[in-house]
Amino acid sequence: MVLAIVLAVGVMMFAAKPIGDFVDDHPTVKMLALSFLVLIGMALIGEGFDMHIPKAYIYFAMAFSVVVEMLNIRVRRRSQAPLHLRKSIDAAPAGEESSGRD
């Protein structure tokens, strides 16, 4: 059991940076993950009210969404470079006024 935990922590430490970079480069993946959390939360609320929701429906919806997002990422990669947002709108150099139009 201890070996499994140590291995899991090692894999997480190794994979955290590449996964974080991937999510930063593809903001739609972050939205997909948040929608999964909402889906799971709603399923848990339904279970609390004694509604039986087959897990296969939830897993299929999640898998279908991941496949669609993978296809979207592949299409976007071929068509254009990803859009990079600015960190701050007030990041203009000192002495320059921002016209509000870019």
Q: What is the pLDDT of residues 11-63, one digit of tens each?
A: 999 999 999 898 888 889 999 999 999 999 999 999 999 998 899 999 999 99
Provide the pLDDT for residue 96: 58
- Round to whole Å and give the CA distance between 56 and 43: 12
- pTM score: 0.62
For the CA atoms of 72, 75, 77, 81, the dihedral, rounded to the nearest 10 degrees, stands at -90
Write the secondary structure of 42-90 as one string of H (helix), E (strand) and C (coil): HHHHHHHCCCCCCHHHHHHHHHHHHHHHHHHHHHHHHHCCCCCCCCCCC
Q: What is the model's pLDDT at position 31? A: 92
Chain segment 49-98, per-residue pLDDT in tens:
999 889 999 999 999 999 999 999 888 877 766 667 777 666 556 655 55
* Residue 81, CA atoms < 13 Å, CB-side half-sphere: 2
